[in-house]
Amino acid sequence: MSFFHHLFLPHHTNNQRARILHPTALSIIVGVYALFQIVVGNIANRYPQILGYASQIPVSEIIRLTNLERQQSGLLPLTVNSKLTAAAQAKATNMFALNYWAHVSPTGIQPWFFISQSGYAYRYAGENLARDFSDPQSVVQAWMNSPSHKDNLLNSRYTDIGVAVMDGSLEGRDTTLVVQMFGTQLAAVPAVDNTASLTVHAQELTPAPTVIVSPTPETLKALGQISESGKYLSQTNEPSFLNGLSPFEVTKYVSLGLLVLFTLVLLADVILVNRRRLVRWTSKSFAHLIFFAMLLIAALTIIRGQIL
Amino acid sequence: MAQVTFEKDLSRHPLHYFTLLCVMLAGLWGLFWFSYKPAMQMCILISMAISFIVWGIVHHYEHKDLHIKIIMEYVLWAVMGILLFGSLLLRS
């Protein structure tokens, strides 16, 4: 207990300042943390099979949870369609290759292009996207919390589903991307009106079976399962990491843990020093607290996933 | 050198702490505003860290207890903040 006091609270053994707030301890922590980042980065790059660049989002779990939500709403479960799966993979590949986070690519390619390209002749089609989530439950829950994505998930007109989960670097940030595509084959339902309506967020096309845009040669190149750009590294159908760890998770939990720890220690320091009316000649813990509290608030927000 | 309690320091320099709070809040707003633009977020983070160091120097200078050891402490905290938050920005 006294060691805890010595490390984290102002105490007579640490000159009335938590040991980890002393410049020497801070220097050691900064050095060790920087070394840790270098080691994690090197292991992930050199031995991807050990500390794989992989998410903990199995495709099968996304599909199972989607069907569970549908069944709870009295809808029929969706059937996994290999062509829709290929379309979702092509979309994810394209997003990493062209480095965009949107339903429509910078070159104007709509999601429906990938579906048509995969050979899936659709009557209805839809797309949900998610990034930076660490588990499948959070992904499906985030979609269910968004009215437009929920409409897609619980749309009775869809019969098929295809999902791709891919890890890579998007807009300068290591990301796990989830692409969920829904569809109903052209022959599966009677023909309806021929008015095409494209919406990005509702992601529903009725019925427009033809390709809408003409892709550029660069885009067509990007559509293949390529890795030459080096933008994306792996596609994740099932978790392939060791002991459930990925560099994402390791870094996230260590960094967040340290931010929380320092914020709490600084808070305790400010309160106790004020209560005991201690006089110290040091830098101001209250100023450090303001700085770290802001970073912690921002960190807790940015590590949450985003849907589109 | 004027060594005072935290309470006295706060009551003597309320504007100092208010300024720091405003700068950090502006930085926080910037981090949210440029969500998913890591390069911009990194620039904001570094600006926040530099502002924090400058604030420390000005505050202790005004307080007449500025010393190289004090400056080094602010630099260490700033580096720590950049490392921790930067890794979350770029790695997670």
Q: What is the pLDDT of residues B54-90, one digit of tens each?
A: 999 999 999 888 999 999 999 999 999 999 999 888 7
Output the pLDDT for position A188: 56
Per-residue pLDDT averaged across B24-42, rounded? 88
How confident is the prediction for chain A on average, in pLDDT?
Answer: 78
Query: Does the pTM of the predicted model rise above 0.80?
Result: no
Long-range contacts of B62-71 (CB under 8 A, 24+ apart): B62/B13, B62/B16, B63/B2, B63/B9, B63/B13, B64/B1, B64/B2, B65/A281, B65/B1, B65/B2, B65/B3, B69/A23, B70/A282, B70/A283
Who wins on pLDDT, A292 or A3? A292
Q: Is A172 on the interface with B (CB under 8 A)?
A: yes
- Are A203 and A111 in contact by the 8 Å Cβ rule? The answer is yes
Residues of A in contact with B10 (CB under 8 A): 286
Q: How far does B30 lie from chain A, in Å, by closest CA?
A: 10
Amino acid, res. A149: H
Per-residue pLDDT averaged across A17-29, rounded? 93
Nearest CA in chain B to A304: B92
Q: Is A306 on the interface with B (CB under 8 A)?
A: yes
Distance, CA of A153 to CA of A151 (rounded, Å): 6
Per-residue pLDDT averaged across A107-111, rounded? 89
Residues of B in contact with A290 (CB under 8 A): 17, 20-21, 24
Describe the crossing of helices B68-91 and A247-276 by its angle, rounded to 10 degrees: 150
Residue A200 has pLDDT above 50, yes or no: no
Q: Is A287 on the interface with B (CB under 8 A)?
A: yes
CA atoms within 13 A on the CB side of A156: 4
Per-residue pLDDT averaged across A48-77, rounded? 81
Window 43-82 of B: residues touching A by CB (8 A cutoff) are: 45, 48-49, 52, 55-56, 59-60, 65, 69-70, 72-74, 76-81
| Sequence ranges of the domains in chain B | 36-92
pLDDT (tens digit per residue) in A240-289: 444 455 666 778 889 999 999 999 999 999 999 888 887 888 889 999 99
Highest mean pLDDT: which of A186-190, A241-245, B40-44? B40-44
ipTM above 0.85, yes or no: yes
Q: What is the CA radius of gyration of chain B?
A: 15
Q: Do B81 and A303 touch (CB under 8 A)?
A: no
